Structures are given as C-alpha cells and as structure tokens.
C-alpha cells in the first residue's frame, strides 16, 4: 500500500529535550515536505526536499532541522524544543517538485512540548 508513515503519532516531552519525528514514504517520491498545523493558521510549510541531499527552508523553519540522506526518509529534528513548537505535524510527499501534483500526507504527529 502506498503510504507516508510518520512516527511517533503522539509525543509529550519537555523543553530542551532533543527529539526526532521520522517520516518514510514507499512511493519512490523525489519531493518531500514538512508542515505544521496550528488552530486558526491552517498548515504552513517548515522544510522541503527536492531530492536526496537537497533540502531548503519553507515558511516557518526556525527551531527545526531536516536531513535527506535516503530518498524514502525525511526526518524532522527539534534540537531544543520549546512550547511554541507544540503543534500537529504532517509529512508529505509527491513524485517530483511539479506544482500540479497533489501531495500525499502522513497521518500526522501531535507534539506537546511542556
């Protein structure tokens, strides 16, 4: 089954404790992206990757890091999480960077930073 898999689905942690949210897709997609969803703000892009070893900032990259060492994986790293990073996070992928392709989303990761 074609899918984007995120882990964990839920996490409660404390300020300053490094965490990683994993994202893996099995569709051989080149383009991957991270979004955060906040009430009243919709979804906003954090980082994206056009292909292996090619990553760049989206609209709200502060406090996050990413890496793309393999095509299928695109982890989101919070080096020193803070309460304002409490949010619902989505990983997404699509075949290439072309704008006409719908993005396939994972099921989301709900992070609570205390």
In the region spanning residues 54 to 113, those forming contacts with another protein, defined by CB under 8 A, are 56, 58-59, 88, 90, 92, 97-100, 102-108, 110
Give whichever of 31 and 78 is closer to another protein, judged by the CB atom. 31
Distance between CA 8 and CA 110 in Å, rounded? 8
Please state the closest distance from residue 53 (CB atom) to another protein, in A. Answer: 16
User: Among 110, 102, 113, 112, which Cα is nearest to 33's?
Assistant: 102
Residues of this chain that interact with another protein (CB under 8 A) are: 31, 33, 35, 40-45, 48, 50, 56, 58-59, 88, 90, 92, 97-100, 102-108, 110
């Amino acid at each position: 089954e074609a899918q984007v898999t995120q882990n964990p689905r839920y996490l409660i942690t404390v300020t300053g404790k490094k965490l990683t949210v994993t994202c893996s897709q099995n569709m051989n997609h080149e383009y991957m992206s991270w979004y955060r969803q906040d009430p009243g703000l919709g979804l906003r892009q954090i980082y994206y990757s056009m292909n292996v070893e090619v990553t760049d900032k989206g609209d709200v990259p502060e406090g996050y890091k990413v890496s793309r060492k393999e095509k299928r994986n695109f982890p989101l790293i919070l080096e020193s999480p803070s309460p304002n990073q409490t949010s619902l996070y989505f990983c997404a992928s699509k075949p290439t960077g072309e704008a006409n392709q719908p993005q396939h989303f994972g099921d989301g990761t709900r992070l609570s930073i205390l």
